[in-house]
Structure formats: structure tokens, C-alpha cells
Amino acid sequence: MIHDDVEEVLLTDAQIRTRVAELGAQLSQDFDGRDPVLVSVLKGSIIFLADLVRAMEIPLSVDLMEVSSYGASTESSGQVRILKDLSRPIEGRHVVVVEDIIDTGLTLNYLLRYLRDKGPASLGICCLLDKPARRLAPIEIDYRGFTIPDRFVIGYGLDYDERYRNLPYIGVLRPSVYGASAAPE
């Protein structure tokens, strides 16, 4: 069972549902009448995005991007690649980047520069998890779900080697699963 690989449940399903509803209400209030585009960074944030847009009660659009800097590792390679770009122009639109987790900030920093070059009216960030202990690039987070400690987390869309995304909670992965010598996310 995949639950056996979880050392500790950091955030329960109920805690996540409550906070996502609060974020959706806040975004609905802040973007009322502005028809925002929520840009999800695949794959990890797709579950968060789905729940977030269901919690919003305003007209909005969704677009998807896929960027990679991890591969099958637990640590960022430092090289960012865009694997899937936006499907529609964002020039003049209010854009909110929806992220599952922000740790070093390097990948997101690259993505924000890339999106700013496309001329949005505004560009904000909504993340489920903020891990500031590992921050290497300055990132201003507009909407934050939870601040978490420097632990390797899985579940609710977050994975290790494409596994554990289907856990309904955020859990800490047992170090024995990814090797004791490997660094956390």
C-alpha cells in the first residue's frame, strides 16, 4: 500500500479542503469582474487547480503549462525546460500561476520571467505549499495555502518518481523510499 511509505501526515484532507475553499473565495473576491486566467504548472498542481477553480464563483479561464527541472530526482537540476506552453495568448489578461509547491523558487522565477514577456495585465502566484527554508530565488507569493518545513512531501498531486499523487493528504515520504543519501526536495 502506498500509505505505508508515508512517515507522517503533514496536512489532512480536511485541512486542505478548508484552505482551498478559502483561497478560492479570496481569488473570487480579488478578481471579480476581471476574468482571470489560471495557469497550472503540470503535473503536480493539477489536483489543486481542479479543486481551486471549483471553489471560485467568477468567470475564469484555465491554461496548462508543463515545465521540468526535476526528472526522477528529489532535487532540482537547475535547468528549466518548457515541455508544454500556453495554448492561448495572455497579453492584457490577469494571470494567476497555480503551483503545488514552491521550494527553491528557481523554476518559478524562470517561469514568471517567461510569462511577463507575454504582456499580461497582471501576474500573481497562488501556491498550495510554500517551503521557504530552501528558497534561492526571491518569490512574492500572493496566495499561500500552507507554509511547510523542509521535508520531502507527497500526495494531493505531489509525487516522487510519478507515484503518490493520488494520496488525498500531504504526507512526508519515508527517507528509505528515496534513499538516505538523497537530499529532500
Q: Which residues are catalytic?
A: 103
User: Contact 169/152 with Cβ under 8 angstroms?
Assistant: no
C-alpha cell belonging to residue 54: 471549483
Strand-pair category, 122-130 with 143-147: parallel
User: Contact 44/165 with Cβ under 8 angstroms?
Assistant: yes
What is the distance between the alpha carbons of residues 167 and 178, in angstroms, rounded to a whole number? 17
User: Contact 74/152 with Cβ under 8 angstroms?
Assistant: yes
Ordered DSSP codes for 120-132: -SEEEEEEEEE-G
Calculate the CA 106 to chain-centre distance: 13
What is the distance between the alpha carbons of residues 70 and 135, in angstroms, rounded to a whole number? 16
User: Contact 37/62 with Cβ under 8 angstroms?
Assistant: yes
Asked whether the bond before 43 is cis by omega within 30 degrees of 0, the reply is yes
